[in-house]
Structure formats: C-alpha cells, structure tokens
Chain A
Amino acid sequence: MEETNYNTETIVADPMVPTLYRVENYVKETSDTFTLAIAPSGSAAEIKTAKQKQLDAAPGQFNMLYVFGMGEVPVSISASPAGGGLLTHTTRDVGSVTKALSALKVGDMLGVRGPFGTSWPVERAVGKDVVLVAGGIGLAPLRPVIHELLARRNDFGRVVVLYGSRSPADIIFKNELKKWKAQPGVIVYVTVDRGSTSWHGSVGVVTRLIPKIRFDPANAIVMICGPEIMMHYTVDALKQRGMSGEDIYVSMERNMKCAVGFCGHCQFGEHFICKDGPVFPYDRLSSLFRKPEI
C-alpha cells in the first residue's frame, strides 16, 4: 500500500499524529521525578514548524508525550520555549508510560502532540498579588508561571509561592526554589507532610500556610495545582480569607486519550478537561468540585 511519511512539513494537520522530538537534557529531580528538555528532530523545515507550534505554548498548557510502543500520556509544560530555552516537561514515574519516559536517555526519540488546553491567567494577574499553591508534582505546571512572573517582575504585586511536598526528599526544583526565594518581593514557603532530621522547614499540609501569608485577597489571583483534595481545602482556606472564586484558578486532571475532544475520557460534568481546561476559574467548577465520582 502507498504510504505517506507523516513527519513532513506538507502534512495536513491530523491532530492525532505526533511530531518527533529528541531528549536534549535529562535531570533527575528526585527518586521518582525527572525533567526532560526536548527539541524537535527532522529536516530544517520540520524543526521550524515544530518550534513555531510550541513557541505559542502558554503556562498551564500540556503536551501528549508518546514513547515508542508504550503509549501516550498528558504532561504539562514545565518550562516553555517562549522563555528562550527548550520545551521541558517534569514527570513523576507512576505507571507504565511514565516509567518508559523516565527510561529515555539523551538523544532518544519521543513523539509530541500539543500544546493543548487552557493556560494560567497571567495577564489577569497584572497589577495584582499572585499566590501560587502547589502540591507535589503540581509545582511543575506552575513553574512556567513563576518564570514569567520573574521575567516581568514589575508587572505584578507580591508574589507568593506555597509548595507542599510529601517529604524533604521529594522536593523538586530545589535549586530554583532557592533562587526564587532570593528575588525581592518574592515569598517562597515550602512545607512537607513528613519531616526528617535534617529538615528545619515547616511540617504540615500546605493549606495551613494560607492564613499566615501576606497578600491582598481583594486584589489577588491565586493559581492552585495539586491533588483534588488539596485544591479543595486550599480553596476553602482562601475563601476564609475573603477571596472570591472567580479569582481562584485550579488545574484539573482526568484520564485523557486524545487531548482534542474526540475520546470523551476527560469529561468532568459538562466540561472536557482537555479543551475547556485543564485550568479553570474555580467558579466554573464549584458545583462539581469534590462531588464524588463525577
């Protein structure tokens, strides 16, 4: 049968067909978390098209990463090429495809489809305080926001980053956290569920920090990414401080097979998380959030 080699610049855009990338840099963050910086592979024209596509990627968006023969999973962009560097994803190894991703080496090939989904409301946050609340791997999808806030530091009010991790050993982006902390007007709190002998920081869930932080709830944007239960309690704590649901943003996670609205897997009530989300203003979800088994 006649076949078309699909990785050429002339293709009609079939949203299910991936673009080929190679691993350029591999950083092991923790025992089960790793960061892959990747670059498109192929002819000069192919590379140009691929780069153009990801240059528009906004903080909060995600890609579908394909490992040969293993499958494809949604992973958020943890550093965007818009900042001048490479397209980057940070992943926790939790199952078959993420394990295969973790086994890739520099130079290995992978497939990428995207970027997909809605982004964090960075423009809405201009002139306001910005509070970012991350649980576990949830810091990865928020990292491009931090990069952008710091690059345009004067556009925003106070910047507060609250990050909860299971244990000190599970903290990702350790060096960057230190750098962010050193910036003027940037507050970074890290808390762990379980401490260790060498841990001198805060112990306890991240929501416990909310009553203590300094920001103006009437003039702030909050972005939350983490397990649903953590996001639920964080929203409660923020409401206690007088925040309104339209200024709180959450990133949702559901099974995804297509990322473009075809497969039906990511439905959350009337929303398709892949295209209406993953980032939503909390108000749009409040009737569904934490409703069991929706």
Chain B
Amino acid sequence: MKVIERKYLENLFDQLKEMGYDLFGPTVHDGAILYDQIESANELPAGWRDKQEKGTYRLEKSGEPSVFAFAAGPHSWKKFLHPAENLLWRAQRTDDGFKVLKDPEPKRKKAFIGVRSCELNAILIQDKVFLNGLAVDASYQALRKDVFIVAVNCTHPAGTCFCASMNTGPGATKGFDISLTEVLDGDRHYFLAESGSSLGDDVLIDISGHDALDDEIATGKKALEDAVGKMGRNLDTTNIKELLYANSESPVWDEVAARCLSCGNCTMVCPTCFCTTVEDKTDLTGQHDERWSKWDSCFSLEFSYIHTGPVRSTVRSRYRQWMTHKLASWIDQFGTSGCVGCGRCITWCPVGIDITEELAAIRNNQTEKTNQI
C-alpha cells in the first residue's frame, strides 16, 4: 500500500492523462454531486459533504479539505457505460430498399475517478447483463473496454446507504485498478492507495509517495470500519428470494402502491437498472431512420404492453415487479442481487418510499401470518 499526500494527488491525474485517458469524476453542479469530465484534482468537490434521507438530498460545506467525503449522488457511472440514449444504427433508403449503417464506437479511453464500492459492484452486475449473457451488447462492450477505475473506499456513507447489508461495501475489494482511502489525520491529508491490477501497479509506481506505515494503514482501516456503523439503513437478506416469491400477493404491495407515483425515478437513478426501449426517429423526408435505445422503466404502463393491453396495468404490480426483480429474480437470472445498497432510490423518490422499509414490512407481514397459523 502506498501513501499519497493530497498535494500529489494531481500526479495521478497527470499520469492517467499522459496514458491517453479522458478523466471523469465527481463535481458539484446544481447543488448535487454529479459525474462529469474533469481535468484536475482541483475540480473535485473539496469541502463538501452530503445529507441524504428519504426524499431529500442536500450538499453542505464541511469546513474540511476532504475531496471524497460524500456518498452516491443522483448520477451513477451507468450514464457513461450504458447511456440514457444510445444510437444503435441508422438506416437509409436506397433505390431498391434500404441499407443499415453503424457509426463506429467511440475509441477514447476513460478513467473513472472516485468510484464507490457499491458502484463498482453495480458495474460488475451490468457486466453480467451485457457481456456475460447469451449475446454481447456491442455498444456496452465498446464503452466498457479500457475503463480505468480509481475506486474510493467509502468513509462517509449517507443516511440512505446500506451497502454493508448487501455485501457490496464500504470498502472496494475487486474490479478496480487503484483504490484510495482518504484520510484526514490532524494536519495531514493523504490517501492510502492500493493497486488492483497490473495497470494499477504501473500507474502507482510513478506517483510521488511512500510505502504506507503501520499506523497509517491502521488509521485508514479504522475509518472504513467506522463507516459501517454510520450507514443509516440496513436490509435483512435472509432467504430474501424465497420471501419475495412467496409473497407476491402480500397486502404490503397495495399499501406501497397507494403512495407510489409510478414516476420511475427509482429506476433512473439505480446503478444496476438496465431496461431499455427502442425508438425509431425518422426524418421528414422519410429517407432516414435512426434506431435509438433509451432507458426505460418497468414503472411505465407501456413497458409491458402487448396488443391485448398492458400486462401490468396496476401500480401495485409494477412496484412488485421492480422490487421482486431487484431483490429476488435477479439472483436467479444473474447469480447476484440486483441491489447494491447505494440508497439512491430512497433519496430520490419524491414521496420517500424506502426499499428497506418495504422489504421489512413484507417480512413482518409474513411473520404475522405464520404466527397466526
């Protein structure tokens, strides 16, 4: 493990730029932490922290120099790997029909700086969907290729976080090239850096710093351990798949449906939600067609439409579909939960619906039923 003082963090940025990477990281915009292209460590959200609760998100000044002292914001890295809108191909009329044209995939290499452990797990989950299935998603593959990941171990979880319950954090254990733990210790501000790949080794070697001392390692470790206790939520995953499969007719679905606006915010902010629809955009001449894929949400009525009508016409069935997919059927489909405990869906739900509370309600209802028998 290597210690990089705050002033040398810029080395990491320079190094990656020199290797031809475009850098992306957290920035402050419109009162939230958003992921955007950045050039320098000085653009990181120094001195900001977030307050998150059901239906609320607030950034405030912490008075401290930390640059990663916040949890997940409304953006996730999926916006770069699985963009909200993606041109699949274009078609153009010809004399005797039409031809299909595919634009080349972008070739610039990307480095993601400040990827939380929950988000890293979300990326690995989307890898399973788009790369390890029956077919390979060519667009995703092109965007995912050559991504350099600088993970940040999370020492400042939010009130809506529960990655510890989902086994996806707060420390990054796999899937990164370099991981950083930010430490503020008296006057000192440094990062404990660990390499997770040979490429990570190469980058770290050239950055000014020293081999971590035992007490530095211990300080970082403690900060991470303390983080577990700072999480505002937890979710009991015991027999979760069986629980949800057995409770498809739970009265809890009716209760949550009475509050849910079916707005789909939860699916848009979720870093693992992958559903898309396709749209044809024809121009006025009728000579060109563009076929786009776009994020879609299982909360929309059209999502399940077949010519006899929508399969899931009630909000109850759509919320049930979303939560049962996230927490149960995902396990059958991809061998992992579809939830990484990032808390975004709780924070960004306009009416404050909380997946951890709803699951607990289903569990309680089931327990009551069992006790009655």
Contacts and interface: CB of A to CB of B under 8 A. Distances in A.
A72 interface: yes
Contact of B317 (A7, A257, A264, A293): A293
A293 B303 CA distance: 12
A261 interface: yes
Contacts of A6: 89, 100-102
Contacts of A2: 104
A213 interface: no
Contact of A94 (B104, B291, B307): B307
Interface in A67-114: 68-72, 94-95, 107-109, 111
Given A72-B278, A270-B333, A254 B99 contact: no
B97 A261 contact: no
A22 interface: yes
Contacts of B373: none
Do most interface residues of chain A lie in helix, strand or loop, or is the interface mixed? loop
A22 B97 contact: yes
Interface string B302-317: 0111111001111011
Interface string B255-284: 000000000000000000011111010100
A264 B97 contact: no
Nearest to B297: A264
B304 A255 contact: yes
A190 B88 CA distance: 44
Contacts of B278: 71-72, 257-258, 263
Contact of B312 (A4, A270, A272, A293): A293
A287 B242 CA distance: 13
A3 interface: yes
Interface stretch (B36-44, B73-81, B129-137, B201-209): B129-137
A38 to B, nearest CB: 12
Contacts of B282: 69
A262 B130 contact: yes
B137 A262 contact: yes
Chain A interface bracket (under 10, 10 to 19, 20 to 34, 35 or more): 35 or more
Contacts of A108: 97
A1 B277 contact: no
B329 A260 contact: no
B63 interface: no
Given A262-B130, A265-B303, A12 B138 contact: yes
B307 A15 contact: no
B190 to A, nearest CB: 42
A253 B186 CA distance: 63
A20 B307 contact: no
A119 B185 CA distance: 64
A41 interface: yes
Contact of A111 (B100, B136, B139, B313): B100
B337 to A, nearest CB: 13
Nearest to A22: B97
A168 B313 CA distance: 33
Q: How would you classify the secondary structure of chain B's contact residues: helix, strand, loop or mixed?
A: mixed
A114 to B, nearest CB: 11
A293 B311 CA distance: 5
A264 B274 contact: yes
A284 B138 CA distance: 31
B5 interface: no
Contacts of B317: 292-294
B103 interface: yes
B14 interface: no
Contacts of A269: 329
A254 B311 contact: yes
A258 B276 contact: yes
Nearest to A111: B100
A5 interface: yes
Given A3-B103, A3-B104, A264-B276, A41 B97 contact: yes
B275 A263 contact: yes
A123 interface: no
Contacts of A4: 101-104
Interface in B92-107: 93, 96-104
B110 interface: no
A272 to B, nearest CB: 7
Given A68-B91, A69-B282, A94-B307, A262 B100 contact: no
B228 interface: no
A7 B287 CA distance: 18
Contacts of A14: 89, 102, 138
Contact of A7 (B99, B276, B321, B332): B99
Contact of B134 (A260, A263, A265): A260
A11 B313 CA distance: 41
Contacts of B293: 16, 257, 263
A257 B276 contact: yes
A45 interface: no
B306 A272 contact: no
B304 A254 contact: yes
B306 A5 contact: no
A49 to B, nearest CB: 15
Nearest to B318: A293
B333 A272 contact: yes
A56 to B, nearest CB: 15
Given A16-B293, A20-B98, A68-B98, 8 more contacts: A1-B103, A6-B102, A109-B96, A269-B329, A272-B333, A275-B133, A293-B313, A294-B311
Q: Which 4 A-B pairs have the closest CB atoms?
A: A109-B97, A264-B275, A293-B317, A270-B332
7 contacts: A3-B103, A14-B138, A108-B97, A111-B91, A255-B303, A257-B277, A263-B296
Interface of B: 88-89, 91, 93, 96-104, 129-130, 133-139, 245, 248, 274-278, 280, 282, 286, 289, 291, 293, 296, 298, 303-308, 311-314, 316-317, 321, 325, 328-329, 332-333
